[in-house]
Amino acid sequence: MTFLFVLLIIVACVFLGLIILVQNPKGGGLAGNVGGFSNQLMGVKQTTDVLEKGTWVLAVVVGLLCLFSTLFVPHASSANQRGLEKTSAPTQQAPTKP
């Protein structure tokens, strides 16, 4: 189950990175690079809104996946973490000479 969460986090991070790289901090971004096509399809304002909303959604998804993945990580007992737990294998004593 942990592997599934790690895989989902990686995929969400890749998409988040791609959406962030597509955006332009001066407001051009994808709408400025495509030219007139984006005006006909969605309009310049809606393109930046979609990218901004996608950024926020993916950021929240990554955060929630990180939080929920901690529930599925196997936890060691507190005694084992401190090194106080004894091993279960029996110890053998050397035979004594008469």
Look up the domain containing 58 and give its range: 2-23+35-71
User: Is residue 94 domain-resident?
Assistant: no
User: Is residue 47 domain-resident?
Assistant: yes
Answer with the residue of higher pLDDT: 37 or 17. Answer: 17
User: Is residue 89 domain-resident?
Assistant: no
User: Is residue 17 domain-resident?
Assistant: yes
pLDDT value for 64? 94
Domains of the chain: total: 1
Amino acid at residue number 83: G
The DSSP secondary structure of the chain, one letter per residue, reads -HHHHHHHHHHHHHHHHHHHHH--TTS-HHHHHHTHHHHHHT-HHHHHHHHHHHHHHHHHHHHHHHHHHGGGSPPPPHHHHHT-PPPSSPPPPPPPP-
User: Is residue 51 domain-resident?
Assistant: yes
Lowest mean pLDDT among 26-30, 88-92, 94-98: 26-30
User: Is residue 41 domain-resident?
Assistant: yes
- Give the pTM: 0.56
